[in-house]
Amino acid sequence: MSDCRRLVLEEFERFMPREQRARSQLYDLIYDYPLREAKALRPALCIAVCRALGAHLGTVLPSAAVLELYHNAFLVHDDVEDGSERRRSGPTLHRLHGVPIAVNVGDAMLALALEPLLENTRILTLGKALGILECIARMARESAEGQALELEMIRNRTWTLTDQEYFRLVHKKTSHYSFIAPARIGAIAGNASASQLAALTRFGTWMGVAFQIQDDLLNLAGKEARVGKEIDGDLWEGKHTLILAHALRNASEAERQEAGAILGKARPTEQHRGGDADAVIAGLRQAGRISHTLAAELREALGVPDESTRLKTARDVAFLKGLIVHYGSLEYARDTAARWARRARRSLEAMNWLRASTHRDFLFHLTDFVVARDN
């Protein structure tokens, strides 16, 4: 995958309009996430499928690089949407430069991704070039629908998901852009038949679910230095994971209610940390430095949020984590991810039309990697 990453970064150089780069900081910011250590999983999958079908690297490289550009654009916007703090071992882009600049950088990346896909008409047949564009359009739509699903769940305070609801969410928000689109685009460039495309789509669906469950596991039980994101970030952000869903399903009614109340609270941001008025006033009151009346007046005047809009605390997050450990939800998630990865592997074994090659071997390796990886 590291070879692939180098190729993709070289390809990026071709996408960027030369005359604009020196004039605007925008292009430095576009490169921020891609230059942080990344796996280049999506382009590697795309290239491996294409080459295992017997086609040349050159036919698919621009499209593979576009997938990585889309991935990074999604990360920039997702980090804004989820209020994430860290990404690939550094502060998220909106933490560094503010939400306005981060939203625009993501948009610029989406805009830049179009041109190379149009140039595909010069290296592929027209039908293939259009097929790849259709695949990208579908991928972008499914990903936005997946994000919408999750944001709606957070808004409606829906925390108890069935496994099936979780799979539907992950199918849209992860499988499509991380596995289905890369595999299909590699296959289109590699001249695959409709039934071969369908088989790869199923493979991508299952790989996506296994990959996302492992992502959720690493967020809770990984090493921050390897993962590059804050551990427990998903609990702070109130993300919907199979792990949390399993714990809530098995928890007592009282535990479930307490967990629901915690998940309904926002996570404290930098701004809150700088001045959590509630804690300051409580401290002054306890020390007897202000009267009860003045404390109440200050709360009112400063707009201290009431119980229902309080912020999550470290103790809240520890409570959620306690439930997860107590009900064996990590083990459940590990088993489930392994089952989906095995299913993907079996489907790959049935694809006897993939040529025996390092590329086919790499695809098999990926079915282990998605659940064995530590970053």
Q: Which two three-digit tokens encode residue 289?
A: 């430095």
To 10 degrees, the CA torsion angle through 371, 235, 139, 208? Answer: 20
Residues between 105 and 144 with contacts to its own copies, criterion CB under 8 A: 105-108, 110-112, 114-115, 118, 121, 126, 130, 133-134, 136-137, 140-141, 143-144
Contact 136, 57 (CB under 8 A): no
Beta carbon of residue 333, minimum distance to its own copies (angstroms, whole number): 25
How many residues of this chain interact with its own copies, rule: CB under 8 A? Answer: 60
Do residues 311 and 225 lie in contact, with contact meaning Cβ atoms separated by under 8 Å? no
Give kind and range of the element (H or E) at residue 252. none
x/- binding map, residues 18-57, to its own copies, per CB under 8 A? --x---xxx-------------------------------
Q: Which is nearer to its own copies, 261 or 277 (by Cβ)?
A: 277
Residues 263-302 that bind its own copies (CB under 8 A): 271, 274-275, 277, 280, 283-284, 289-290, 294, 298, 301-302
Number of Cβ atoms within 10 Å of the Cβ of 118: 10
Dihedral (Cα; 243, 246, 251, 257), 10-degree rounding: 80
- Per rule CB under 8 A, is residue 197 in the interface with its own copies? no
Supply φ then ψ for residue 268, to 5 degrees: -70, 140
| 189 touches its own copies (CB under 8 A) | no
User: Which structure tokens are listed for 131?
Assistant: 């097929």
Q: How far is the CB of 278 from its own copies (least distance, A)?
A: 10
The 63-82 contact track toward its own copies, x by CB under 8 A, reads --------------x--xxx
The CB-side HSE value for 26 (13 A sphere, CA atoms) comes to 18
Single out the residue of 48, 204, 55 nearest to residue 138, CA to CA: 204
Distance of CA 345 to the CA centre of its chain: 23
- Using CB under 8 A, which of 304, 323, 324, 341 touches its own copies? 304
Query: Smallest gap, in angstroms, from Cβ of residue 290 to its own copies?
Result: 8
Q: Which is nearer to its own copies, 111 or 198 (CB)?
A: 111
Question: In the chain, what is the greatest distance between 2 CA atoms, to the nearest angstrom?
Answer: 79
Interacting residue ranges for its own copies, rule: CB under 8 A: 17, 20, 24-26, 77, 80-83, 97-101, 103-108, 110-112, 114-115, 118, 121, 126, 130, 133-134, 136-137, 140-141, 143-145, 147-149, 151-152, 155, 271, 274-275, 277, 280, 283-284, 289-290, 294, 298, 301-304
